[in-house]
Amino acid sequence: MGTTAFSALMDDFRANVAQNRDALLAMAKRNPHMAYQKVNELALFVGSRHRVNLQLHFPVPAKVADVDSYGTENVGIVVDKFRRTFPVPRETVKQKAAEILGPGAKALDAYMYEGKEGVKVVMAAEGRIEVLPGSVHLWCRVDNERVKKYADWLMENVYFVSATG
């Protein structure tokens, strides 16, 4: 995948939401549960074209009705649910978070059990990013340029590392 893998994935997803906006809006008004199911079907479809499992999370159930926010926040991307360790040093994942996301971001070791590793990036008022060896969960706005840049870096350097040598 190219350097803009995350951005391309999210652009593709947002375009699909835009194409289906009227139907999703009608569904969200009539039956929010059905709208939730449909938008996640759309996410699975788009994700499959990018070789990932794209998931939308709705920590505030009322947000299901906000069709225009689909794909802009609270996104999960699973690349390999069985991967337990990063293909790059965990310190690099943390250092890149601080470098790209800026001084308000604090990268911490997290989810370290049973031989697994992970990083939690806390960004002041903006939310958090949970970086695991096989997935990333963005509990924040994903249309923020710094967040996109970090997620693109993760896609290229952690999730879709090209085998060389």
| pLDDT, tens only, 73-125 | 999 999 999 999 999 999 999 999 999 999 899 999 998 888 899 999 999 88
Q: Over the stretch 5-60, which tens digit does the pLDDT of each residue have?
A: 999 999 999 999 999 999 999 999 999 999 999 999 999 999 999 999 999 999 99
Yes or no: say if 133 and 117 are a contact pair by the CB < 8 Å rule.
yes
- Predicted TM-score (pTM) of the model is 0.91
Angle between helix 90-101 and helix 145-154 axes, rounded to 10 deg: 160
Find out whether 27 and 35 touch, Cβ atoms under 8 Å.
yes
